[in-house]
Amino acid sequence: MMRGIVASEQLLLFCDLHGHSRKRNIFAYGCETLKGPSRLRERVFPRLLADTCHHFSYSSCSFKVLRSKETTGRVVAWRQFSTPNSFTLEASFCGADFGPGAGLHYNICNLKEMGAAFVPALLEFIDPAQKRVSAIMAELEAAHPAADEADEDVEGDQSAKDGSTPDAFGDASEKLRRAVRGRASTNPPKGKASGFSAAAGGTGASARRKPAVDPTKKKKKPATTVGSGSGGLSPRNTRSPH
């Protein structure tokens, strides 16, 4: 259905309405664009919502695209249709933590007020004069200046959001492979060691328990006792004459 709409009409904004079970307030999740003409555009409509409804918390919004959220409606619409204005509007089950309603659950009246504020914000968003939108963009650019550092850092962050592997992961993998090769060269496998280590490995624990034999020491002969037999032999080695 959305492909058919995009084929014939311009997709201005996508918004999925949700209820949040943990995080407080009414806020939005968006999809961050790090560079190009659409940079910071994802923050404009949430700012308009905050201006038109006191229940909406702009400070609670998040625009990071996590890998675990790749299949959510806002991320799919953002990627498939290349629109920066793709959001999930969340209303907490736990109520607000700011303003006159802090510590209280949202009631039906509060939610209706939020819904009623959505349309005026949308009308101001598409205003041909774009006065309020231009003013918000100027504030956002002052608060979030573009990075002047190497473009590789920005592209690495963008590739992580696109699902590709950043260069940092490749460098870490190469370091790990080098470490494994170095460990293998210093610790050869069993059976290929030379010298005493190989011999000790073949004899096992029993070789370590046996004392070493000193070849310089002569083997002691068993002591003999002189008896009454002939030849001075022990009575054990002669028969009795009786």
* Residues with active-site annotation: 90
Q: Which residue in the block uniquely carries the two structure tokens 């290929």?
A: 192
Report the b/e string of 30-69 with b at 16+ CB within 10 A: bbbbeeeeebbbbbbbbbbbbbbbbbbbeebbebebeeeb
Residue from 154, 85, 90, 98 nearest 125 by CA: 85
**Residue 40 C-beta-side C-alpha neighbours within 13 Å:** 16
Residue from 161, 163, 145 nearest 64 by CA: 161
